Amino acid sequence: MSELLYDIIRQFAVEVDIEPYGNGHINDTYIAMSNPRYILQRINKNVFKNPPGVMENILGVTKHLRKKIIEAGGDPDRETLNVIQTINGENCYLAPNGEYYRMYKFVEGAVSYEMPESPKMLYEAARAFGKFQNLLADYPANKLYETIPDFHDTRKRFENLKRAVSENKAGRLESVTAEVEFAFAREKEAGIIVDAISDGSVPLRVTHNDTKLNNVMLDEKTGEGVCVIDLDTVMPGSLLYDYGDALRFGASSGAEDEKDLNKIWFDLELFEAFTKGFMSEVGAKLTPTERKLLPFSAKLMTYECGIRFLTDYLEGDTYFKIHRKDHNLDRTRTQFKLVSDMESKFDKMEAIVAKY
């Protein structure tokens, strides 16, 4: 372990070896095998332009959650993230290398999954994300700094793709003409949720905005949701973002970067399990337009993520971490395969949502 990392964990009064941990696409995550254990993260400055602002959000949100968890008789050390301050009382440490680091308590006795293993798992994840929404329903949105502006503005994401296509910075355009064509053919749909927010039929709420299955920890024994993690993108948004994005990842038959597209389809059983769990928590508060847009949101969030992977591929892989050649292209292809599969199953998706 480098001198720099030693210096960094000492700022949090921890002095043990740390190892890389987890599979996030954004931050560098490490585990400190102390007793108790901790998570150390380097906050990705390229993605989050103002790390102290991100930490202010997280402090505010986790304090709010902590209070509610205690009121409900829960365990606040497990059911929400807990930020460990530095020995100087800061929420994160600005290291001599110019990078920001933060530390959390490790959520013990719980697991985050990279792939759905059963409908029950998705049902429990959905309940956890739904509950998270509910706990933050009265959090003052004006206290939240927008950590990534226009994060789920799919129309703007589409404009970014158009720009990346015309600039062709990494010289890869020729190899992705089919994917670009696929994305361009669906341009009209990009604005549907943002327009519904503008006309007021879909309310802005405090949302998580990154509801991937590996951003929720499930109890290792009971499988029930314990803690929603990765709070960097908690911002005002639409409940449809949280629902749709979770399905994008959680109701896929395969990994986000699966190369064999024959192994990728949108699994209706997983879709139903998630819908059932999510609706059991938030169903009562949905507006008619939110309800109507549920199936579409799964498709839109998947399309949006595909566009983002494709844009990053065209720009030379500067945003998402990659671990092999053409990784972002493989990711793009699974997302677009899921979109076309959802298009062919759309009536069935609507019928399932109507049940809950």
Q: Of 215, 275, 297, 328, which one interacts with Mg ion (CB under 5 A)?
A: 215
Of 181-189, 229-237, 263-271, 343-351, the window that binds Mg ion (rule: CB under 5 A) is 229-237
d(CA 29, CA 316): 23
**Alpha-carbon gap, residue 69 to 76, rounded angstroms:** 6
47 in contact with ligand GN1 (CB under 6 A):
yes
Member of 210, 267, 312, 315 binding ligand GN1 (CB under 6 A): 210
- Distances in whole angstroms, Cα of residue 6 to Cα of each of 2, 15, 43, 44, 119: 6, 7, 17, 19, 42
299, 222 contact by CB (below 8 A): no
Contacts of 347 (CB under 8 A, 6+ apart): none
Given 24, 237, 250, 306, the residue binding ligand ADP (CB under 6 A) = 24
Six token digits for residue 77: 């050390």
In DSSP notation, 168-230 reads -TTS-GGGGHHHHHHHHTTGGGGGHHHHHHHTTSS--EEE-S---GGGEEEETTT--EEEE--
* Pick from 139, 281, 159: nearest CA to 211: 281
For residues 219 and 124, what is the distance between their CA atoms, to the nearest angstrom? 10
Q: Is 24 in the site for Mg ion (CB under 5 A)?
A: yes
Element (H, E) at 28: strand 28-32
| Residue 69 in the binding site for ligand GN1 (CB under 6 A) | no
Binds ligand ADP (CB under 6 A): choice among 18, 39, 65, 176: 39
C-beta closer to Mg ion: residue 28 or 281: 28
Q: How far is the CB of 55 from ligand ADP (least distance, A)?
A: 13
Decide: is 233 part of the binding site for ligand GN1 (CB under 6 A).
yes
The 8-class DSSP code of residue 150 comes to T
Q: Is 26 in the site for ligand ADP (CB under 6 A)?
A: yes
Taking CB under 6 A as the binding criterion, the range among 172-180, 193-201, 229-237, 277-285 that sits at the site for ligand GN1 is 229-237
Beta partners for residue 205, in sequence order: 237
DSSP 8-state symbol, 29? E
Q: Does 215 bind ligand GN1 (CB under 6 A)?
A: yes
- Candidates 26, 228, 239, 352; binder of ligand GN1 (CB under 6 A) is 26
Given the complex with ligand ADP, which of 12 and 104 has the nearer CB atom?
104
Per the structure block, which two tokens stand in for 319? 């945003």
Q: Which one, 256 or 272, has the nearer CB to Mg ion?
A: 256
Q: Does 25 bind ligand GN1 (CB under 6 A)?
A: yes
Residue 47 binds which entry of Mg ion, ligand ADP, ligand GN1, none, CB below 5-8 Å type-dependent: ligand GN1
Q: Which 207-266 positions form the footprint of ligand ADP (CB under 6 A)? A: 214-215, 229-230, 232
Distance CA 84, CA 65 (A): 16
In the complex with Mg ion, the residue whose CB is nearer, 194 or 213, is 213
Give the residues lining the site for ligand ADP (CB under 6 A). Answer: 21-22, 24-27, 29, 39, 81, 104, 106-107, 112, 214-215, 229-230, 232
